[in-house]
Amino acid sequence: MRIFRYFALLLAFTLYHTAHASAVDELLSQYQQQGAGQFSASAGAAFWQQDFNGKRCTQCHASSPQQMGQHSQTHKSIQPMAPSVNPQRLTDSAKIEKWFARNCKFTLGRECSAQEKGNVLVWLRGQ
C-alpha cells in the first residue's frame, strides 16, 4: 500500500511538471521561430517590475508571483502566477497567449514582443 502511494505521488508530480513544461516549451519554441533570441529569467523579472508610463505588471499582480494579486480597476482577486503555488498556471498555451494579449495592451499600450513574453515565461516557470 505504501509503495502504491509513492508511485501515485510520483505520477502526479511528473504529470504536473509535464503539463507546465509542454505549454511553456511550446510557446518558447514559437517565440524563437518569431525571431526571439535567448530567453532570460533575469530580464523577465526586470520586465515584471518595470514602469511603463505609470503602469506595471505589479499594479494588478503582486511583486512576488507567489502572492495573490488584485485587479487595479475591478478589485477582483488574481491567483498567484507562480506554478509552484498555483498548479493551474502555465498549463494552457491558449490562455497564456490570451492573457499576454490583454495585459500587455493594458500595461504597455501595445502587444508584448516574443522576446518579452519568453523572458517572462522563463522567469515565472522558475518561481
Place of cell 511603463: 52
Q: Quick check: 121 pLDDT over 90?
A: yes
The answer to whether residues 126 and 41 touch, using CB atoms and an 8 Å cutoff, is yes
Global pTM value:
0.82
Q: What's the average model confidence in pLDDT over 6-28?
A: 61
Q: Quick check: 13 pLDDT over 90?
A: no
The answer to whether residues 49 and 93 touch, using CB atoms and an 8 Å cutoff, is no
How far is the C-alpha of 94 from the C-alpha of 23, rounded, in Å? 9
For each of the domains in the chain, give its residue range(s) and CATH number, in order of start. Answer: 2-125 (1.10.760.10)
pLDDT tens profile 46-102: 999 999 999 999 999 999 999 999 998 899 999 999 999 999 999 999 999 999 999
